């Protein structure tokens, strides 16, 4: 009996180890198809696109002759490309800033023991379930200014009816507004998402913290400024990343709502990329725009991924 | 008294915002219910005098010189159902492995996959079109399904990984002491507990695949296989299509995801929060 125990234990241990080894191999095999797919379709394709951007493929038939950075140079000299970059900057600033501000405001208002909170939350958030195409189609009509001869339509008409006619503008038909009108529709669609994130964050702040600040004589405004906002910083950061990367690749909303517009004042790089590549067959230049977009998004995403994974390991 | 007054203002402000968010839906519904005689851009905010389903009919089956959306809605269904189910299954398997079986390099691999969630798809479009052409799937619904399944791997894996991480360790260890291996633990412990995880992933993938435009317009340019987003954009971009038909078409294209949101909003929210990496 005395000798049997350790021997049995050892057999069990060896069996466990054998099983563990088999399971480790099995686990690798299970994720292998997905891993290979991502490797090829994400990393391989990014590599190919980058290569195409340095090639001479600017007509229908592929031509992989290496031409250095000439496609990038040509893009840079193209006024339309420069306009799309400027529009993208304006759009991103307005869209990210506007969604954050509106989302935060809604979350703060909803966080005051509101009757019917569920209803309001649902209403503020539902645009997120829509496609940018639907949003674009509807907002194109809402922001259609109408004409002085025939009368106003859409939001302009609504402003007139409310006696706020002086606020009427040409919206996306006005070169000075252009892309701002697209940002208005995008904020409408995404601000509910920010509200939901902030509301979840606000609910996570213990009431004692605010109570303690109140006892110390802080006003409600000061509590938000010095207690709530700093605690919500990770959420602000996360929302900025998500909104920022949506903004940089914005395409469908522009397609459905405005198109590039005369003088390209509603144009964005993703739209220009698609037209260059699949309409004008300038594959190498289109690939160049795609690579530039990827680099901008990576500058945003890679530090974020590293940061949140490190936090996860620490937790 | 003052307290009551500020509460009143608060509710009025909240209602004001609700009106702002509902304006587009108001226009969509009101316009698509108007009869053709009644449709007038300069009276777009007025309520309909009569009730008419003419616009929905035309948006579905077509009218003078344009096609309806019915075949495209069918295309979208034929694309979204298999794509969603396959990517949910893949996500579940991957998520399980990444949450419980840390083989060497697993974390690195997971991070590399996550990056795929954020890339602008413009940066893979050209090789994607060439590859789909080479394997004979360009311009087909299976081609779109393959595309959505592959680019859905990062998000579905992430959601399931975070979900399985919440399953108590003791449950898994008990099953392993009982002799269950990798597949046994998955079948006996994880899969039976997976229903909420599947709900989140299926709703998430359903919504994003149904709403996708970029892949659809790039891979399926042929009208016979176009999903509804592409067809709606063509319908709305055409000058001969009546305005109320456009609104009815937009409402029809939005309806499936809207219904999912209204009835399964809880799961929708969870997918949303997972999409921002925090789980």
Do A251 and B214 lie within an 8 Å CB cutoff?
A: yes
Q: Average pLDDT of A292-310?
A: 87
Closest-CA distance of chain A to residue B2, Å: 16
* A114: closest chain B residue by CA: B11
Residue to substitute from B21, B109, B184, interface A, most A β-carbons within 10 A: B21
Q: Average pLDDT of B86-109?
A: 91
Do A129 and B243 lie within an 8 Å CB cutoff?
A: no
Q: Kindly give, in sequence order, each residue whose CB lies less than 8 Å from that of residue B239, ignoring residues fewer than 6 positions away.
A: none
The dihedrals phi and psi of B248, each to the nearest 5 degrees, come to -65, -40
Q: Average pLDDT of B225-240?
A: 91
Residue B115 DSSP one-character state: H
Q: In this predicted complex, what is the ipTM?
A: 0.92
Check pLDDT > 70 for residue A115: yes
Q: Any bridge partners for residue A55, and if so which?
A: A66
Cα torsion A211, A215, A218, A222 to 10°: value is: -10
Q: Which of A268, A286, A2 is nearest to A132 (CA)?
A: A268
Burial class (CB in 10 A: 0-12, 13-18, 19+), B16: exposed
Crossing angle for the helix pair A70-77 and A283-314, to the nearest 10 degrees:
100
- For position B178, what pLDDT does the model report? 84
- For position B27, what pLDDT does the model report? 92
Check pLDDT > 90 for residue A31: yes
Looking at every residue in chain A, the average pLDDT score rounds to 90
Q: Give the span between the Cα atoms of A115 and A120, in whole angstroms.
A: 9
Going B270 to A298 to A284 to A274, the CA torsion angle's sign is positive
Helix (H) or strand (E) holding A313: helix A283-314
Residue pair A176/A106 in contact (Cβ under 8 Å)? The answer is no
Place of tokens 């994974």: A309
Closest-CA distance of chain B to residue A33, Å: 9
Q: Give the span between the Cα atoms of B112 and B198, in whole angstroms.
A: 23
Q: Give the span between the Cα atoms of A303 and B83, in whole angstroms.
A: 31
- For position A34, what pLDDT does the model report? 96
Check pLDDT > 80 for residue A309: no
Q: Which of A229, A207, A238 is nearest to A311 (CA)?
A: A238
DSSP code per residue over B162-198: HHHTTS-HHHHHHHHHTT--HHHHIIIIIGGG-HHHH
* Residues of chain B positioned with their CB less than 8 A from the CB of A49: 123-127
Range with lowest mean pLDDT among B56-65, B72-81, B237-246: B237-246
Closest-CA distance of chain A to residue B14, Å: 7
pLDDT in tens, B63-75: 888 889 999 999 9
Q: Average pLDDT of B96-119?
A: 89
* Residues of chain B positioned with their CB less than 8 A from the CB of A126: 21, 258, 261-262
Q: Give the three-class secondary structure for A66.
A: strand
Q: Kindly give, in sequence order, each residue whose CB lies less than 8 Å from that of residue A276, ignoring residues fewer than 6 positions away.
A: A282, A285, A286, A289
Residue A42 DSSP one-character state: I
Q: Are strands B62-63 and B66-67 parallel, antiparallel or unpaired?
A: antiparallel
Model confidence, pTM: 0.92
- For position A1, what pLDDT does the model report? 44
**Mind listing the domains of chain A with CATH numbers?**
83-314 (1.10.3720.10)
- For position A130, what pLDDT does the model report? 94
Name the E strands within chain A: 146-147, 151-152
- For position A5, what pLDDT does the model report? 65
Check pLDDT > 50 for residue B278: no
- For position A236, what pLDDT does the model report? 92
- For position B243, what pLDDT does the model report? 86
Closest-CA distance of chain A to residue B229, Å: 6
* CA A290 from centroid of its chain's CA atoms: 16
Percentage of residues of chain B with pLDDT beyond 70: 96
**Mind listing the domains of chain B with CATH numbers?**
2-52 (no CATH), 70-275 (1.10.3720.10)
Q: Which of A229, A288, A149 is nearest to A220 (CA)?
A: A229
Do B126 and A124 lie within an 8 Å CB cutoff?
A: no
Residue A55 DSSP one-character state: B
Check pLDDT > 80 for residue A283: yes
* A259: closest chain B residue by CA: B237
Percentage of residues of chain A with pLDDT beyond 90: 59
Closest-CA distance of chain B to residue A108, Å: 11
Q: Which of A19, A196, A286 sits opposite B269 (nearest CB)?
A: A196
Q: Any bridge partners for residue A147, and if so which?
A: A151
- For position A51, what pLDDT does the model report? 97
Do A137 and B41 lie within an 8 Å CB cutoff?
A: no
Q: Average pLDDT of B192-205?
A: 91
Crossing angle for the helix pair A269-278 and A283-314, to the nearest 10 degrees:
140
* Residues of chain A positioned with their CB less than 8 A from the CB of B14: 109-110, 114, 120
Q: What is the pLDDT confidence band of residue B120, given thresholds at 50, 70 and 90?
A: very high
Do A133 and B233 lie within an 8 Å CB cutoff?
A: yes
Q: Which of A41, A124, A152 sits opposite B17 (nearest CB)?
A: A124
Place of tokens 């009996």: A1
Residue to substitute from B13, B27, B96, B118, interface A, most A β-carbons within 10 A: B118
Name the E strands within chain B: 62-63, 66-67
Check pLDDT > 60 for residue B101: yes
pLDDT in tens, A43-58: 999 999 999 999 999 9
Going B251 to B252 to B256 to B259, the CA torsion angle's sign is positive
**Sequence-distant contacts of A74-79: CB under 8 A, at least 24 apart:** A74/A285, A75/A285, A75/A288, A75/A289, A75/A292
Q: Average pLDDT of B167-194?
A: 87
Helix (H) or strand (E) holding A247: helix A233-248
Q: Which of A52, A120, A270 sits opposite B120 (nearest CB)?
A: A270
Check pLDDT > 70 for residue A145: yes
Q: Give the three-class secondary structure for B120.
A: coil
pLDDT in tens, A81-109: 999 999 999 999 999 999 999 999 999 99
Q: Which of B44, B118, B258 sits opposite A153 (nearest CB)?
A: B44
* Residues of chain A positioned with their CB less than 8 A from the CB of B125: 49, 274, 277, 290
Check pLDDT > 60 for residue A27: yes
B120's tokens: 């602008």
Q: What is the pLDDT confidence band of residue B2, given thresholds at 50, 70 and 90?
A: low
Residue pair B121/B154 in contact (Cβ under 8 Å)? The answer is no
Q: What is the pLDDT confidence band of residue A314, given thresholds at 50, 70 and 90?
A: low
Place of tokens 């006996």: B188
Check pLDDT > 70 for residue A2: no
Q: Which of A206, A192, A194 is nearest to A128 (CA)?
A: A192
Q: Which of A35, A153, A309 sits opposite B41 (nearest CB)?
A: A153
Q: Which of A242, A248, A245 is nearest to A91 (CA)?
A: A248
Q: Give the span between the Cα atoms of B253 and A134, in whole angstroms.
A: 7
Check pLDDT > 60 for residue B276: no
């Amino acid at each position: 009996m005395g000798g049997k125990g350790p021997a049995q234990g050892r057999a069990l241990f060896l069996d466990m180890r054998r099983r563990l080894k088999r399971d480790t191999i099995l686990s690798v095999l299970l994720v292998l198809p997905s891993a290979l797919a991502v490797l090829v379709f994400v990393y391989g394709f990014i590599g190919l696109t980058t290569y195409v951007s340095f090639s001479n493929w600017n007509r229908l038939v592929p031509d992989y002759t290496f031409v250095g950075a000439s496609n990038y140079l040509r893009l840079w000299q193209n006024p339309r490309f420069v306009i799309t970059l400027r529009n993208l900057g304006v759009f991103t600033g307005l869209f990210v800033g506007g969604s954050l501000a509106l989302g935060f405001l809604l979350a703060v208002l909803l966080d005051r023991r509101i009757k019917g909170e569920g209803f309001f939350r649902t209403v503020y958030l539902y645009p997120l379930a829509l496609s940018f195409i639907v949003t674009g189609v509807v907002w194109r009509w809402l922001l259609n200014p109408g004409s002085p001869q025939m009368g106003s339509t859409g939001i302009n008409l609504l402003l007139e009816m409310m006696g706020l006619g002086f606020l009427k503008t040409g919206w996306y038909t006005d070169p000075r507004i252009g892309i701002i009108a697209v940002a208005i529709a995008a904020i409408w669609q995404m601000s509910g998402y920010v509200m939901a994130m902030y509301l979840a964050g606000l609910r996570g702040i213990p009431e004692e913290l605010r109570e303690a600040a109140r006892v110390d004589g802080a006003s409600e405004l000061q509590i938000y400024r010095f207690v709530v906002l700093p605690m919500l910083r990770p959420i602000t950061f996360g929302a900025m990343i998500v909104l920022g990367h949506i903004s940089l690749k914005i395409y469908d909303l522009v397609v459905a709502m405005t198109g590039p517009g005369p003088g390209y004042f509603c144009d964005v790089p993703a739209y220009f990329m698609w037209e260059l590549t699949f309409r004008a067959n300038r594959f190498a230049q289109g690939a160049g725009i795609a690579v530039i977009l990827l680099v901008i998004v990576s500058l945003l995403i890679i530090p974020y991924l590293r940061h949140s994974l490190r936090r996860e390991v620490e937790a | 008294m003052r307290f009551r007054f500020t509460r009143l203002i608060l509710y009025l402000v909240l209602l004001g915002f609700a009106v702002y968010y509902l304006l587009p839906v108001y226009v969509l519904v009101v316009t698509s219910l108007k009869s053709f005689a009644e449709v007038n851009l300069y009276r777009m905010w007025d309520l309909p005098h009569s009730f008419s389903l003419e616009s929905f009919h035309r948006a579905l089956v077509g009218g003078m010189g344009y096609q309806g959306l019915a075949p495209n809605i069918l295309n979208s269904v034929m694309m979204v159902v298999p794509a969603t189910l396959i990517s949910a299954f893949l996500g579940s398997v991957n998520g399980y492995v990444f949450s419980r079986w840390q083989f060497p390099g697993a974390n690195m691999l997971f991070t590399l996959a996550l990056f795929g969630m954020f890339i602008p798809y413009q940066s893979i479009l050209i090789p994607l079109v060439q590859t789909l052409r080479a394997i004979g799937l360009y311009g087909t619904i299976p081609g779109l399904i393959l595309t959505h399944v592959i680019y859905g791997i990062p998000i579905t894996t992430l959601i399931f990984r975070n979900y399985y991480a919440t399953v108590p360790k003791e449950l898994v260890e008990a099953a392993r002491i009982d002799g269950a291996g990798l597949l046994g633990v998955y079948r006996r412990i994880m899969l039976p507990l997976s229903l909420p995880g599947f709900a989140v992933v299926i709703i998430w993938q359903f919504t994003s695949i149904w709403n996708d435009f970029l892949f659809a317009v790039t891979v399926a340019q042929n009208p016979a296989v176009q999903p509804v987003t592409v067809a709606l954009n063509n319908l709305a971009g055409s000058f001969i299509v009546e305005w109320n038909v456009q609104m009815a078409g937009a409402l029809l294209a939005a309806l499936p995801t809207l219904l999912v949101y209204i009835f399964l909003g809880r799961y929708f929210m969870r997918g949303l929060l997972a999409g921002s990496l925090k789980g």
